[in-house]
Structure 1
Amino acid sequence: MGCEEEVMKIKKKLDKMTSSDSDQTQALDILKVLQGLPINFQVLSKTRIGMTVNALRKASTDEEVISTAKQLIKNWKKFVPDKKEDDEKEGKEEKKKDKEDKDKKSNSNGNSSSTSKSNAKPTTIPAVPPTTDSLRLKCREMLVNALKAGDMPDDAIDSPDFLAEQIEDAIYQEFRNTDAGYKNRLRSRVYNLKDTKNPQLRENVLRGAIPPKRLAVMSSEEMASNEMKALREKFTKEGIDDHQLAVAQGTKTDLLKCGKCSQRDCTYNQMQTRSSDEPMTTFVLCNHCGNRWKFC
């Protein structure tokens, strides 16, 4: 069994323990099993086990369970791409921010650029140029709300505000204006990020699996959930099969009986759908009720 499958099985067990009144007697043993698995960023992204472990940590009253869960989350954060801030650096940034907040209070004439700089989160992605365009600012606000439309993953690489600026600026740089093309591109990003049936897209953006510039140019098919992609593939295959049957003239026969209307007015076609050494598949159409079936 692969690591991802094992983690998914463990996740289902832990999901049942995340309420405060649930049976958590096996929680510690399960967390220790997780510690021994070769979990990487891809497994974390696909299974979302980090969110489940964090929920268990919040629901548990067992100190050992809480401590083990915290250690697992801390170890997993190291797998996030471009996540270079360690605890010591975060402490320095907090002190720096406190100092800047004090300076801001003592200086009532502080400009907006210094305020923005003091609130910026450390990141490896360069900041985008500021804008005063009311439409662009509104679009950034819509993206921020879409990115916040759900639980924030513990391993998010940046704030929703910063990522929203990156996405909007990438779209603007492509169109160089705020016309219909720009607006339509923004709307599709917002719609897909807020889609409750496709939470993986929003989480992948927050975790850095999908960079802002990549999201800015993705097609609707690329942003779709795995279930929607499978459904589209199924519809495409069925459409091709129907087209092939419509193109073939077929042979009428009264030897076959429709199982739906019991009539013997049928047309059949034979197609090689498997390897050449296998028998052909026979597709039958009832000319009376339109029922279709196949047999080998």
Structure 2
Amino acid sequence: MATIKKIELIKQSMSKKVASGVEILSDDDIETLKDMLQQLESFDVNLEILTKTLIGTIVSKFKKHEIIGPTAKALVKKWKSIAKGEVTNNNSNNKGEEEEQKPAASAAKTAVAVAAAVKPKRRNSTNAATAEMREQWFSLQPYRQTTCQKLHDILINTKTSLIKQGINPDAIDHLVVERATDVEQSIQAKFLSNKTEYLSKARSLCFNIKKNSSLACQIILGQIPSKKLVDLSSEELVNDKKRKEIEERKKQVMDSNLLDWDTQNEDKINEMCGITGDLLNASLFTCGRCKSTKTTSTQKQTRSADEPMTVFVLCLACNNRWKFS
């Protein structure tokens, strides 16, 4: 069968990735595996195909991976349901066909065991709504599953802080899943037709929420709606300390662009350079007659244009005048 051959080829490629190490997959490997899993999901498989290819044994190897794990789990679960469904149908036939069904039933059990491989660990949360919501993630596209999981992992890090505020741990578990789902859906709604912009916004949100624990708490407690969160810029997402640093840098840049910046900041410049007391009134020139530094000067072009300008100096103490050329 053509489907079996295609699955065998995919299985062979995935086996190489397993051999090289699931924990150290490169970004290119992850993208390739995502495509393979999508292809496997599109195939119309049955008990015979699952038994002959044993594809479940390979796919199960990736269930613990952070990025492609959710997709692998969902696929194994789907195959398990298919295998169980065919076994149930076979068992509903009459007794005269029981002998013929035994090999198929045995193969079905093998396929179910292979597809199930390692069952997903039960979540600590006893909240059925939370578990059901997380199950819904598996029906999403792989990159959306990844976004939901990353948002969840980042938000759950604030659990200890929220417990200290007197919030029930089970309530936090439920809220974290709910908020992660809401935020992801808001990103998807805003960038529905542009995957690149979706991923860019998702990465930006994950990065900034991870760096700003107070923001994460506000999201969990519903103080910042998910739609408003998605519209915030990177500067608006940073914590207060970082925001002050950004504002200070902006102010410095704006000040440096002012034409009269040196005049407005003369006192600061003098202080930084150690110019105080009488030195504030001193100039670059010293009078040759009274040795005073209280002088003023002007420049004029008295010679040809390619010659330097002539400096005329006036002593404010004795009214002595002289020039430098």
Q: Does TM, normalized by the shorter one, top 0.5?
A: no
Q: Larger Cα Rg: Structure 1 or Structure 2?
A: 2
Q: TM-score interval w.r.t. the shorter chain? A: 0.3 to 0.5
Judging by fraction of residues, say which structure has more helix: 2
